[in-house]
Amino acid sequence: MKGIYSDQTNFYLFPEEPDVGELVTVRLRIPKYLGKSVGNVFFAPEKNVKRYQHKSMDLCKESEYFYYFESSFNMPDRILRYHFEINLLDKKKNIVYDAMGIPQNRPIIDFTLIAGFKTPQWAHGSVYYQIFVDRFYNADESNDPVNNEYHYDGQVVVKKDWETLPHPKNGHREFYGGDLKGVLEKLDYIEDLGVETIYFNPIFVSPSPHKYDTQDYEHIDPHFGVIVEDTEDLTKKYKVRTTSEVNLKKSDELFQKLVEDCHKRNIKVVIDGVFNHCGSFHKWIDEMNLYGNGALYNESSPYRRYFYWNSKNEYEGWWGYKTLPKLNYGNINLWKYIAEISKKWMGQPFKVDGWRLDVADDLGKSFEMNASFWRFFYKITKKVNPDSIIFSEIYKSPLPWLERRCWDSIMNYISCMDPISYFLTGMEKHNDYLKSELLKNSDYFVNTVKWALSQLPMNSKFMALNQLSNHDHSRWMTRTTQKVGRLGPNTHDDAIEGRDLDVFKMGLVMMFTLPGSPGLYYGDEIGLPGWTDPDNRRPYPWGRETQEGKEILQFSRELIKVYKNCASLRKGSFDFIDWQGGYLAYASWNDDESIVTIVNREEKTVDAELPLWLLDKKKGEIEILFSTKVVNIENKYYDDGRKRFKNSRKNSSYYKN
């Protein structure tokens, strides 16, 4: 039953972020073709809210194709879940409309409204660029790790030439020398690309290139920053470099300058917070005896209670990794310490704009402990910087955390990376297996995305980080090869051979047109290939870009430019309007514009008539805004509000009405 619609944008819900006691108005759209069969229309809060029983909605607006109904209420001091019900006079049952649409053989999934949940406006639809610092650009060779500087996880660290590629089994000990000065020198490039927010993989002191094994939360790693105090004695070199007060101070100052320069360009900065675990070099464990009072060798250390210990006097490592000691949040002192870390980096003088939280749902030993800590962290962070963003790494529904105001949003695996990858390539995001039944399966794609969006209340979905590649998963270009495997059994060359540029471009267009904040992982803008970790962390080939890469770069710039001119893509109503097999069409719209995205993964041209009446716009010309191939449009409306499109094989395009 097409045409029934509501969401939580400011046309269908206002105010969008209500405070307790504030008057809230909700709207529902009903198509006129239902005619006189429509009886009463109800706003229907969840059954256990006694103060808010089913409430009749009043007709408030009429257009060529639709009636609009609305109802108002005062926001309670709680989470309010609701749906709508439409009484059809010729039916015995009411039609239910919820956060996924009309339920058919599934439970009702209510809209969620959270009192006092405020989100930063800058983060709605912001264009992200993720930087893995060690592999981005080396502008200061004096801070590079050197061969044999120290042992890590049983082996010596290695400094590699920039032109070489990662070894399949030594990713945690190979350094290329990228640094924050390198980011500073490439800010013109980043700004020209159209980036609005930089998300950094971890940059605090750590013995690995990825730095998810934090050694010191309080300072920037001098290998990324500035090394003033040094020694030629390899037995002391690492300790001097990473614990020298001069080096730490200068490195922090360099990062401060980087943030200031980004802000001058209207570029926000988000950093990675790894608080589920620290590293075995951290002063609390101190495996290398760098600080002198760690819990590993001193049972009376005050840091002993920061970890979990077994009967053999061994600390628990996250997922069994001894380099990643899991932190014990049964200790209130740990809560206070991590809160102070957030205050330091979000406040003066650094003024960072937000956190990405690593494996956030793993923290602690129970959901209650986990959610309680993140709620505490959220309150502290927002008090220091109310306009900061907090989004988490999570691979399932974040709704229980969002309802408690633990985070603002998420890394959007559930409605972007996973469904796009399966629909366009059939590939799992590590290239570990192929699900051929999901390739060109628009039914699965639509249902998956609808469910995922229903798990992101209010404005969370506009801030969710949409990506197709990142440091944890294979590069999007490599997934288009549809090859199963990883580096080792497969070669570096295998990661690019058999690539599909059409599919690659289609994926980027979809990432930019589905609800969320589109994010490029460094190198995506030139189609950098790579198997999953460590091959997804190849050095950026500055000055050695292929001609194909240069063409993809221009494609990326144009796509970002068009995206930034379309307000409804950043924050608008969204719905699927047509799909079958490997073809689908969806729309984003607001009062001023309507954007239709058409994706054809089929190997043949698709001739489609789209029900553009669903956008409730006056009839007019369709303008092609962006396309991966040539598309034919018949600029003629049929009487029922349809419009004919002819979409060429393996193509994605979007249009403005």
Distance CA 33, CA 152 (A): 69
Residues sharing a CB contact under 8 Å with residue 34, sequence separation 6 or more, in sequence order: 88
- The predicted-structure confidence for 348-390, as pLDDT tens digits, reads as follows 999 999 999 999 999 999 999 999 999 999 999 999 999 999 9
- Taking residues 480-506, report their average pLDDT: 97
pLDDT at 115 over 80: yes
pLDDT for the residue numbered 532: 97
**Residue 562 belongs to what H/E stretch?**
helix 547-564
607 - beta bridge partners? Answer: 646
pLDDT at 535 over 90: yes
- The predicted-structure confidence for 573-602, as pLDDT tens digits, reads as follows 999 999 999 999 999 999 999 999 999 999
Distance CA 221, CA 205 (A): 4
**Backbone dihedral region for residue 360 (phi beyond 0: left; psi -120 to 50: alpha; all else: beta):** alpha
pLDDT for the residue numbered 637: 56
Which of 439-448, 528-537, 610-619 is the least confident region? 610-619
In this structure, which amino acid lies at residue 521? Y
pLDDT for the residue numbered 630: 61
pLDDT for the residue numbered 312: 92
Distances (CA, A) of 266 to 124, 127, 262, 523: 15, 12, 6, 22
- Taking residues 489-514, report their average pLDDT: 97
- Taking residues 164-177, report their average pLDDT: 94
Mean pLDDT of the chain: 94
Which of 21-25, 116-120, 626-630, 643-647 is the least confident region? 643-647
Distance CA 497, CA 495 (A): 6
- Residue ranges of alpha helices (H) inside 212-272 are 237-243, 245-264
Q: Quick one: which of 335, 345, 356 has its CA closest to 385? A: 345
pLDDT at 137 over 60: yes
HSE-up of 592 (CA within 13 Å, CB side)?
6
Other CB atoms within a 10 A radius of the CB of residue 239 amount to: 16
Taking the model in full, what pTM does it have? 0.96
Distance CA 402, CA 455 (A): 9
pLDDT at 5 over 60: yes
Cβ atoms 279, 206 nearer than 8 A: yes
pLDDT for the residue numbered 16: 94
- Banded pLDDT at 639 (limits 50, 70, 90): low
Residue 415 DSSP one-character state: I
pLDDT for the residue numbered 617: 78
Cβ atoms 148, 112 nearer than 8 A: no
Q: Helix, strand or coil for residue 332?
A: helix
Proportion of the chain above pLDDT 70, given as a percent: 95
- Banded pLDDT at 623 (limits 50, 70, 90): confident
Distance CA 179, CA 325 (A): 26
- The predicted-structure confidence for 509-524, as pLDDT tens digits, reads as follows 999 999 999 999 999 9
pLDDT at 557 over 70: yes
- In the block, tokens 């990506």 appear at 467
pLDDT for the residue numbered 634: 63
pLDDT at 529 over 90: yes
198 - beta bridge partners? Answer: 129, 269
- Residue ranges of alpha helices (H) inside 404-494 are 418-425, 442-454, 460-463, 476-479
- Residue ranges of alpha helices (H) inside 315-397 are 332-346, 367-384
